[in-house]
Amino acid sequence: MMIDPVVLNAQSASSLIPGSKAYTGALELSKQFDQFLKGAITDLNQQQHQVDQLNEQFIVGEMNDVHRLMIASAKAELGLQLVVQVRNKVVEAYQDVMRMQL
């Protein structure tokens, strides 16, 4: 499974400018971000389940290809690290907003 790059195209960039024709607003952007995060977590969960299945197959002797198991395990580990880093950045941004004085 390849990691899909996040691409900001011209249409989505123009939707960030208030007053533009394509302005979607903060609510729509938060919904899109929410869907993106849910999709990423779902993909990560599927990777973890795949690794669990491969581990079980390897333990009972149904699979001899240890490379496949190690690659799937490394992908799941990298995915988990990515999700943790995104969460940390979101929490940090939230804390920065909360520290702002009006």
Instruction: List pLDDT tens digits, range 36-91.
Output: 889 989 999 999 999 999 999 999 999 888 999 999 999 999 999 998 998 899 99
pLDDT at 25: 76
Which of 21-25, 29-33, 47-51 has the highest mean predicted lDDT (pLDDT)? 47-51
**Spatial distance between the Cα atoms of 87 and 99, rounded to a whole number of angstroms:** 18
Confidence of residue 4 (pLDDT cuts 50, 70, 90): low
pTM: 0.64
